[in-house]
Structure 1
Amino acid sequence: LRTDVEERFKQLVQEVCEELEIVIVALECDKDHTHIFLNALPTLSPADIMAKIKGVTSKKLREEFPHL
């Protein structure tokens, strides 16, 4: 189960980053947190980037995986 959620999470992060024209340098998941290194234009603040990623991934993962 965890690998399904993790793989879907990584797909969603990739989709958001492509939409925002952000390059993912590294993305590693642990059981309760994630480390993400990104290359983004300075027009996007780190807080704005993370708000978008967290908003999209939280909503979609909770819809697709009710046990979360």
Structure 2
Amino acid sequence: MFCPRYRRKIFLQADVEQRFKELVHEGCEELQIVIVALECDKDHTHMFLNALPSLSPADMMAKMKGVTSQKLREEF
């Protein structure tokens, strides 16, 4: 689970949620991570991921948050 900064309700807009999911899928393909489940609520998201042991959970989340935040800020 991770939350946007200050738990802003960014997923109230359907297009933001859809684009977020697309970005996560793209990032996971790049890092060879399998998405088991991905769901968004209005102010947070739950992700169940399957990755190689060489990639720590903290590293995975840092990369996902960095990519999605940058792209969503540019587009919306």
Aligning the two structures, in what range does the TM-score lie when normalised by the shorter sequence? over 0.9
Question: What is the TM-score normalised by the length of structure 1?
Answer: 0.93
- 2:72 & 2:41 partners in 1: Cα distance? 16
Matched, 1:30 2:49: no
**In the alignment, which residue of structure 2 is the partner of 1:54?**
65
- Cα deviation, 1:16-60, whole Å, max 9, x if unaligned, reads 000000000000000110000000000000000000000000000
CA RMSD of aligned residues (A): 0.9
Segments ≥4 residues shifted beyond 6 Å:
none
Question: What is the TM-score normalised by the length of structure 2?
Answer: 0.84
Percent identical among aligned pairs is 82
**In the alignment, which residue of structure 1 is the partner of 2:30?**
19
